[in-house]
Amino acid sequence: MARALRKLNGGGIMGEKEIKWRKKAAKEDIKAALDELALSFSEKEVRKSKKEMLKRRADVETFKARDILRVAKLKPPSRTNALIQKQMKKISSGEKLCPVILVQSHRGLQIADGFHRIASLFYLDKDAEARCVRIEL
């Protein structure tokens, strides 16, 4: 994955406005990520993911939002989507965002938590950088 997602130095700058990020993934975001993973992974894989997420929740890496969408093979929902609009308002108001949780496995890259944050960043600035906690299964 290191080749597919180029690790970037620095923090999320969107145009001239800095995107503010929390220092680590919140426990409620980890729970949301695990709920999502439970839909497509075995119980054993979800338990392993939980252990890794809790251990690595402060190990934050930075990737471009467009690269994450491309590698995960996802298209962002419409710019007018209510959840996208909500995230865009948070970003514009300077609210700190939680790092996105990425899971790399034999199935490819999944955005376990933070899809709407990534899509919002993409719409605001295609070169915007997202802070992410990445685990491998």
* pLDDT bucket at 136, cuts 50 / 70 / 90: very high
Where does residue 51 fall: left (phi above 0), alpha (psi -120 to 50 degrees), or beta otherwise? alpha
Q: HSE (CB half, 13 Å, CA atoms) of 28? A: 1
Q: Give the end-to-end CA distance of the chain in Å, rounded to a whole number.
A: 12
- CB-based contact 25:99 (threshold 8 Å): yes
Find all residues with CB under 8 Å of 95, minimum gap 6, and list them: 20
pLDDT of residue 17: 67
Q: Which residues pair with 5 in a beta bridge?
A: none
Task: Give the distance, in angstroms, between the CA of residue 38 and the centroid of all CA atoms in the same chain.
Answer: 17
Q: Say what the pTM is.
A: 0.86
Q: Which residues contact 36 (CB under 8 A, 6 or more apart)?
A: 110, 112, 113
Comparison of pLDDT for 26 and 15, the residue scoring more: 26
Q: What is the pLDDT of residue 126?
A: 84
Instruction: Copy the structure tokens of residue 13.
Output: 């700058």
Q: Which DSSP letter does residue 125 get?
A: -
Q: Is the pLDDT of residue 9 over 80?
A: no
For position 24, what pLDDT does the model report?
Answer: 95
Q: Tokens 């609009």 map to which residue?
A: 85
Q: 74-129 pLDDT, tens per residue?
A: 999 999 999 999 999 999 999 999 999 999 999 999 999 999 999 999 999 989 99
- pLDDT range class, residue 15, cuts 50, 70, 90: low
- Whole-angstrom CA distances from 51 to 25, 30, 63 are 13, 10, 23
